[in-house]
Amino acid sequence: MWYNTKVTKMLGIDYPIMQGPFGGGLSSVELVAIVSNEGGLGGYGAYTLSPQEIVEADNKIRAATNKPYNINLWVSDNDTPTGTVSDEQYEQAKKIFKPYFDEAGIALPEKPAPFISRFENQVQVILDIRPRVFSFMFGVPSADILEQCRKSGIKTIGAATTADEALVLEDAGVDMIIASGFEAGGHRPSFLAPAEQSTTGSFVLLQLIKEKVKTPVIAAGGIANGRGVVAALTLGADAAQIGTAFLACDESGALPVHKQMLFSDAAKYTTLTRAFTGRLGRGISNRLIKDLTGKEKQFLPFPLQTTFMSSLRKAALDQQKLDMVLFWGGQIAPILKHKKASLLMRSLIEETTEIMRTSHEQNLSI
């Protein structure tokens, strides 16, 4: 059967369908539990949480499901060697963003406070709470951390945007690799070449990675229905990770207006941009992104750009100036149908089963 794959066996789940974790407060315990309870693998993005908050989220997930689930962190969570930027960099950013703060009638923010990486403390919690699955992006945890995961029975999943990154993940001994295609919503998790040079589409990337590695591969990016799951499995994936379609469901942590945008005509156009966080990510195109294309050198590095933009985001949302807010989403958004995560899960399973059955029958009759 299509649902017996290396990934389902390794994780002890019924179907090779994973709900992509969402960082930045967009994950929810309810969504994780629904997907896991329906036989897939729910995922919780925790990279902005404190260690204590991760423990609390984990306790809530355990209370809501006794099935396997995934907690996700960012290995590299800072693009500034010192955690801060020079006054000159800050002045340059102020200059290009001033018209938008003026339009929203709010003051330009102070220079963001120095950022201190959180990963080491966060990962310690993962080792303590031992979720069945620990997935990560933006790099590879140290050999020591991966060894501790192996000893504790935590399965590891790393994200690759190129075949070279997949090889590095395999050499490090991760259990599964996500092939993260450029159609995907959210950040590009590149960690070798710059993200702008790591923009292969999901189904090419999947095949390139399959040529190079023996580790089970999970396809992510542009999958939102049974056809997408079948295509991924046909090209050699052992599971599909689905983000945007779950983000749009009532149970995700996204704002109602974000979900409306994903179901609106606006979702026909998405763009990769650094304007809102300092790292390259895909969201629904807007005026600010268009205006600032070509001015990337004046943005602050991640995550200081996120901090810099936070008051503008809040004011723009309050004033309904939605063309200045980034609504994360992938290229597949215009085909989304479901608003309930359980219905999305069930339709993914039914559609995949039906397509596989029909193609099996056709093969028999040839």
Ligand X SMILES: Cc1cc2nc3c(=O)[nH]c(=O)nc-3n(C[C@H](O)[C@H](O)[C@H](O)COP(=O)(O)O)c2cc1C
In terms of Cα–Cα distance, which of 259, 265, 282 is closest to 340?
Answer: 259
112 is an interface residue for ligand X by CB under 6 A? no
215 is an interface residue for ligand X by CB under 6 A? no
Residue in the structure block whose two tokens are 């003051």: 107
Q: Which 24-53 positions form the footprint of ligand X (CB under 6 A)?
A: 26, 45, 47
Instruction: Using the minimum distance from each CB to ligand X, give the nearer residue, 19 or 89.
Output: 19
23 is an interface residue for ligand X by CB under 6 A? yes
Pairing of strands 176-180, 69-74: unpaired
CB burial class (10 A; 0-12, 13-18, 19+) of residue 206? buried
Distance CA 180, CA 36 (A): 21
Residue facing ligand X at closest CB distance: 243
Pairing of strands 270-273, 281-284: antiparallel
Binding mask 270-309 for ligand X (x = CB under 6 A): ----------------------------------------
Helix (H) or strand (E) holding 217, with range, is strand 217-220
In terms of Cα–Cα distance, which of 113, 109, 51, 108 is closest to 82?
Answer: 113
**Stretch touching ligand X by CB under 6 A, among 33-41, 209-217, 242-250, 265-273:** 242-250
Binding mask 302-341 for ligand X (x = CB under 6 A): --------------------------x-x-x---------
CB of 261 to ligand X, least distance (A): 12
Amino acid identity at 186: G
242 is an interface residue for ligand X by CB under 6 A? yes
In terms of Cα–Cα distance, which of 232, 155, 126, 141 is closest to 191?
Answer: 141
**Stretch touching ligand X by CB under 6 A, among 2-10, 103-111, 168-176, 238-246:** 238-246
Instruction: Using the minimum distance from each CB to ligand X, give the nearer residue, 92 or 264.
Output: 264
3-state helix, strand, coil in the chain (%, to 5): 45, 15, 40
Distances (CA, A) of 182 to 52, 138, 231, 280: 33, 15, 16, 11
Q: Find the binder of ligand X among 30, 58, 183, 238 (CB under 6 A).
A: 183
355 is an interface residue for ligand X by CB under 6 A? no
Amino acid identity at 20: G
Give phi and psi for 344, each to the nearest 5: -60, -45
Q: Find the binder of ligand X among 241, 273, 285, 286 (CB under 6 A).
A: 241
Instruction: Using the minimum distance from each CB to ligand X, give the nearer residue, 133 or 213.
Output: 133
161 is an interface residue for ligand X by CB under 6 A? no
200 is an interface residue for ligand X by CB under 6 A? no
In the structure encoding, which two tokens stand for residue 320, read together?
């309904």
Helix (H) or strand (E) holding 36, with range, is helix 29-37
Q: Find the binder of ligand X among 49, 123, 133, 137 (CB under 6 A).
A: 137
* Footprint of ligand X (CB under 6 A): 20-23, 26, 45, 47, 72, 135, 137, 159, 180, 183-186, 220-223, 241-244, 247, 328, 330, 332
